[in-house]
């Protein structure tokens, strides 16, 4: 059993729904987005087009961040999810340096989007995050344990994301990867990502 995700680049319209749903679910500090959408424009008028690439933690099979962590705070669980035990994290950021996908963030304390300070919502959500530790996407482990989909998957309006067991050849994610030629980012690194993309 290894949880994984497939993102259909043909369906993604760059609406940022995944990014906003993740932000609302986790209440991350300003500037911290576990789910991001990268935009790139190519071509020239009249055939210019925008390309969108949603990115998040790849929950690698051979995760360099786990190996780099000196305290064992970065852990790979039996279900394939790579997560951080914040009580063990000393904020050294070695895992951030080791992550080839730049999908880890350092929480250096309460911040606010506005000069007036944090909103009541920000205070409530930020209170559950430890400070001076590294944070990252964890495939919404609590939601998954309750039988729900990760927030970014559940809230994608174009159904561009599919979540499931990539070790099961009969699962929808495995069938999509095989039938549509799914690919992972930077396979040459040998990290074995659990996030795959379907070509546009």
Q: Is 150 exposed, middle or buried, given 0-12, 13-18 or 19+ CB atoms closer than 10 A?
A: buried
What's the pTM value of the predicted model, to 2 decimals?
0.91
Architecture of domain 3-198: 2-Layer Sandwich (3.30)
Backbone angles phi, psi at 31, to 5 degrees: 85, -5
Residue-wise over 165-178: b if at least 16 C-beta within 10 A, else e? bbeeeebebbbbbe
DSSP bridge pairs for 38: 53
Q: How many CB atoms lie within 10 A of CB 79?
A: 15
Residue 115 pLDDT level (bands cut at 50, 70, 90): confident
Question: What are the residue ranges spanned by the domains of the chain?
Answer: 3-198
Q: Please tell me the predicted confidence (pLDDT) of residue 38.
A: 96
Can you tell me the distance from the alpha carbon of 33 to that of 26, in angstroms, rounded to the nearest whole number? 9
Extended beta strands in the chain, E state: 3-8, 36-42, 49-55, 74-76, 82-84, 104-107, 133-136, 161-165, 195-198
User: How confident is the model over 10-57, as pLDDT tens digits?
Assistant: 999 999 999 999 999 998 888 899 999 999 999 999 999 999 999 999
User: How confident is the model over 124-133, as pLDDT tens digits?
Assistant: 777 788 999 9
Q: Please tell me the predicted confidence (pLDDT) of residue 142.
A: 94
Start-end of H helices in the chain:
17-26, 64-68, 94-98, 120-126, 141-145, 151-154, 172-180
């Amino acid at each position: 059993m290894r949880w994984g995700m497939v993102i259909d680049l043909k369906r993604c319209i760059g609406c940022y729904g995944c990014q906003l749903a993740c932000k609302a679910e986790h209440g991350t500090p300003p500037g911290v987005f576990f789910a991001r959408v990268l935009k790139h424009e190519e071509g020239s008028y009249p055939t210019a087009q925008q390309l969108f690439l949603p990115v998040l933690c790849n929950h690698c099979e051979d995760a360099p961040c786990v190996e780099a962590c000196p305290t064992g705070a970065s852990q790979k669980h039996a279900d394939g999810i790579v997560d951080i035990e914040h009580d063990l994290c000393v904020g050294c950021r070695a895992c951030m340096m080791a992550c080839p996908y730049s999908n880890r963030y350092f929480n250096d304390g309460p911040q606010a989007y506005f000069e007036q300070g944090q909103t009541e919502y920000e205070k409530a959500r930020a209170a559950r995050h430890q400070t001076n530790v590294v944070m990252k996407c964890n495939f919404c482990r609590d939601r998954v344990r309750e039988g729900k989909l990760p927030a970014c998957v559940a809230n994608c309006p174009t159904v561009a994301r599919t979540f499931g067991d990539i070790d099961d050849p009969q699962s929808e994610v495995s069938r999509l990867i095989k039938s549509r030629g799914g690919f992972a980012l930077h396979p040459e690194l040998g990290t074995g990502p659990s996030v795959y993309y379907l070509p546009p």
